[in-house]
């Protein structure tokens, strides 16, 4: 049975029109789903019985099944959810002074195979549906009893490899009758699927775009990100510039610091050369080590020197504050551990 959370407001309007019903019912239903977060169609007290029975016969209201919950000393929470087909996904809640930010997964597994990442240890099985994206937000909100104020689509998978469902999810999240999360409180990340970056620039959305860059040269990026062979820096950078020019929005460049690989002062200067004059800011990320991977976290003083070098070159840069380091912090780590335990 299809989840009703697969439907946008426009989808629901068309559904009622095709059923010979008034389209205004779509707005009423959306409010029940997202404002009141009802768990039974029978609670829709402004709907006639025939409408309720029709919805019950065609749609599900089920949330995701929680399999495991980890809570860090800094209050970061990681949720392991089971989908209807038995697949496992992770969702991460980060508590900030400005609200509750949720890191959402877009695929079951990942085919990008970034060599430092725990997510790529299990290949992509399928894309998540729009409902499975929405339900990560609904399920966590239900568990914690609080509203989610920010969404980052940076969990397991490559969001732009599931482009249509991710875009639809972002629109439902931003819809005033839906999750009602401000567009600028929604961020999506890509490892560099260049055609989709050009597409996203045309969506006329005010949401934030982040690029997983992680290297200042093709030589280094080729070693850690296979996507670079398809879309090297000389192709990726013009796509980023096109996005900035079309949208007049700043782009975040994610850069995980890996010991003795991409964390040298030379790398910092090459990165500054690469992006100089662009409306971007660099988010430096301390590496959460994965035992199956050979990469190590950069030393604190090395990270500080990299940061200082970029600052001196006039680059907008931040060094990410760590969260969830005392739990399975790396993206995909909890899911991978559970899957490995199941197969052993």
Which one is catalytic: 10, 82, 90, 117? 90
Beta strands in 41-195 (DSSP E): 59-60, 65-71, 77-82, 88-96, 99-103, 107-108, 126-127, 150-153, 186-190
Segment (H or E) for 36: none
Cβ neighbourhood burial of 226 (10 Å; 0-12, 13-18, 19+) = middle
CB 156 within 8 A of CB 104: no
Which one is catalytic: 114, 117, 191, 331? 331
With the C-alpha atoms ordered 327, 154, 230, 270, is the resulting torsion angle positive or negative?
negative
90 assigned to active site: yes
Q: 314: Cβ–Cβ under 8 A, 6 or more apart, which residues?
A: 272, 276
Phi-psi region of 103 (alpha: psi -120 to 50; beta: other; left: phi over 0): beta
- Residues with active-site annotation: 90, 331
């Amino acid at each position: 049975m299809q989840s009703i959370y697969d439907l946008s407001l426009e989808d629901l309007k068309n559904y009622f029109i095709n059923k010979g019903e008034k389209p205004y019912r779509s707005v009423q239903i959306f409010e029940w789903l997202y404002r009141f977060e009802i768990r039974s169609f029978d609670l829709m007290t402004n709907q006639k019985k025939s409408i309720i029975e029709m919805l019950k016969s065609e749609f599900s209201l089920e949330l995701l099944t929680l399999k495991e919950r980890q809570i860090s000393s800094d209050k970061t929470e990681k949720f392991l959810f089971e989908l209807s087909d038995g697949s496992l996904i992770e969702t991460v809640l980060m508590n900030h002074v400005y609200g509750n930010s949720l890191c959402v997964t877009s695929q079951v597994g990942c085919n990008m195979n970034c060599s430092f990442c725990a997510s790529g240890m299990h290949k992509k099985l399928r894309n998540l549906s729009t409902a499975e994206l929405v339900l990560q937000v609904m399920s966590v909100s239900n568990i914690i009893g609080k509203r989610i104020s920010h969404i980052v689509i940076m969990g397991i998978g490559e969001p732009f490899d599931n482009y249509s469902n991710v875009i639809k999810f972002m629109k439902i999240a931003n819809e005033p009758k839906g999750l009602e999360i401000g567009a600028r409180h929604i961020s999506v990340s890509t490892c560099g699927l260049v055609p989709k970056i050009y597409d996203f620039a045309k969506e006329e959305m005010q949401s934030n775009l982040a690029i997983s860059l992680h290297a200042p040269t093709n030589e280094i990026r080729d070693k850690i990100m296979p996507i670079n062979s398809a879309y090297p820096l000389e192709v990726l950078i013009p796509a980023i510039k096109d996005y900035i020019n079309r949208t007049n929005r700043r782009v975040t460049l994610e850069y995980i610091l890996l010991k003795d690989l991409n964390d040298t002062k030379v790398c910092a200067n090459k990165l500054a050369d690469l992006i100089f004059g662009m409306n971007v800011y660099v988010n430096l990320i301390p590496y959460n080590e994965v035992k199956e991977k050979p990469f190590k976290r950069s030393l604190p003083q090395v990270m500080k020197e990299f940061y200082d070098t970029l600052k001196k070159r006039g680059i907008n840069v931040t060094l990410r504050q760590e969260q969830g380091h005392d739990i399975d912090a790396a993206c995909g780590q909890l899911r991978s551990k559970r899957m490995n335990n199941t197969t052993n």
